[in-house]
Amino acid sequence: MKTPISGFSRLSKEEKIEWIAENYTHNSIETKNILKRYWNREKEVQKLHDEFIENTISNYYLPLGIAPNFLIDGQLMAIPMAIEESSVVAGASKAAKFWLDHGGFSTKVLGTEKIGQVHFIFKGNPKKLELFFNHILPILLEEAKPLTKNMEKRGGGITKIELRDKTAELENYYQLHCTFETLDAMGANFINSCLEQFALTFKTKALVFDQFEEHEKKIEIVMSILSNYVPNCLVRASVSCPVDELKVNSTIESQDFAEKFVRAIQIANVEPHRAVTHNKGIMNGIDAVVLATGNDFRAVEAGVHAYAAKNSSYKSLTHASIIDGIFSFWIEIPLALGTVGGLTNLHPLVKLALEILQRPSAKELMRIVAVAGLAQNFAAVSSLVTTGIQEGHMKMHLMNILNQLHATDKEKETIIDYFKNHPVTHSAVVEIFEKLRS
């Protein structure tokens, strides 16, 4: 029977590995070998990785790939993508190559506003709370100046603080709804520090506000935290070309392809079951670039999916139309990203990925990431409305199946050559493999 452990965080890395291997795995020697196999050989690099999080025992690797030939606003780019799923990098690369010959991708940043909130409970007269807020607003800004002065020097800072009455949704619940400009930083630490200072000032000054009754002075601060829903930190990416130039493969005519493509997007706009998978495909491209550049893909995912449901029904993030013989395809998506701070200054591969992207600003990275999502969606929907998704996906997945079977290099070469002209299924691969072995 397993027992809890006390002081695990104080153990050395070797001791942590020893404990997890002995208590939670069947083969402790193999476990220790696997974990140590993924340590970086350079001690300084490994030390850096060990200090990113707590209780580190090893590194978890993802492939870092490159999708070339992206023409974005007239600039040719190669996009780094960190992802384990086969066919994502291939799909993005294929879409990039197609649109390279049709004018490339156009982008526009529509806003960069970030949001944070102080959530509090006030049991009193709403009119007096509003009076107090108007009185304290300049004090909130003044007492936050030690936190904001460096950001303000660069052109950022606090842009607005509002008092919001949320008592219709929850009894006695109010919030300070605050907006920020954080420039090239994602800004989470800056925003949260400002919010906690607002909360302290707000609570303290309420105790001496002479127009409050005694019970009104005791404002309960519930929490102070940024929001990952950033509907005004928005970027648009688009492509367009004449319908008669929309020749994606030999199986379908351009007009038929364009019409089927638009219908597929329309279906994702009205059917949430389809929209979720549709948007997941978009996030294949977006998350891969977000990860490669050291940004928080979980925050991006949460904000993007909230935006997809902003009108009370979950819908497609992409849109398509045919107007006067012109096919257009576009995405508008909220992306709160940073190119300074956090892992961007620490992780060697993150720094390299940003160098490959020509050291973009946060706005430029927003544009690149949105394009990656749009390209991924174009590739996926193109496959769905023509040959189907499995043909290309399974061919990309073939190597994974062969590695699971522990095929030799010679066996891989023979089997890959066979499936150049045959449909790939897991059972078919196993059958050919077993014939070779026998």
User: Is 91 in the same domain as 124?
Assistant: no
Per-residue pLDDT of the chain (438 residues; tens, 9 = 90+): 788 999 999 999 999 999 999 999 999 999 999 999 999 999 999 999 999 999 999 999 999 999 999 999 999 999 999 999 989 999 999 999 999 999 999 999 999 999 999 999 999 999 999 999 999 999 999 999 999 999 999 999 999 999 999 999 999 999 999 999 999 999 999 999 999 999 999 999 999 999 999 999 999 999 999 999 999 999 999 999 999 999 998 889 999 999 999 999 999 999 999 999 999 999 999 999 999 999 999 999 999 999 999 999 999 999 999 999 999 999 999 999 999 988 888 899 999 999 999 999 999 999 999 999 999 999 999 999 998 755 555 656 677 788 888 888 888 888 888 877 777 777 888 888 888 888
Q: Which helix (H) or strand (E) holds 107?
A: strand 106-109
Residue type, 355: E
User: Is 286 in the same domain as 400?
Assistant: no
Cα 429 off chain centre by: 34
Domain stops at, among 210, 227, 244: 227
Q: What backbone torsions phi and psi does residue 24 show, to the nearest 5 degrees? A: -130, 5
Residue 15 in domain: yes
Q: Can you give the pLDDT at residue 86?
A: 85
User: Is 192 in the same domain as 220?
Assistant: yes
* CA distances, 288 to each of 93, 186, 377 (Å): 13, 17, 13
Name the residues annotated as catalytic: 85, 280, 296, 393
User: Is 206 in the same domain as 353?
Assistant: no
User: Is 344 in the same domain as 423?
Assistant: no
| 226: nearest Cα among 114, 87, 147 | 114
Domain stops at, among 196, 227, 258: 227
Q: What is the CATH number of the domain that holds 129?
A: 3.30.70.420
Q: Can you give the pLDDT at residue 185?
A: 92
Residue 35 in domain: yes
User: Is 373 in the same domain as 247?
Assistant: yes
Q: Domain count of the chain?
A: 4
Q: What is the CATH number of the domain that holds 289?
A: 3.90.770.10
pTM for this model (two decimals):
0.89
Q: Can you give the pLDDT at residue 390?
A: 57
Residue 320 in domain: yes
Domain stops at, among 166, 196, 227: 227
Residue 56 in domain: no
User: Is 243 in the same domain as 362?
Assistant: yes
User: Is 221 in the same domain as 237?
Assistant: no
Q: Can you give the pLDDT at residue 395?
A: 59
Residue 18 in domain: yes
Residue 138 in domain: yes
- DSSP letters spanning 18-33: HHHHHHH-S-HHHHHH
User: Do 322 and 316 touch, CB atoms closer than 8 A?
Assistant: no
User: Is 188 in the same domain as 262?
Assistant: no
Query: CA 344, CA 295: separation in Å to the nearest integer?
Result: 8
Residue 246 in domain: yes
User: Is 141 in the same domain as 207?
Assistant: yes
* CA distances, 420 to each of 188, 363, 387, 392 (Å): 49, 42, 15, 11
User: Is 295 in the same domain as 317?
Assistant: yes
Residue type, 78: A
Residue 211 in domain: yes
| 20: nearest Cα among 43, 36, 44, 40 | 36
| Cβ contacts of 71 within 8 Å, gap of 6 or more | 77, 96, 99, 100, 103, 104, 105
User: Is 381 in the same domain as 398?
Assistant: no
Domain that holds residue 21: 10-50
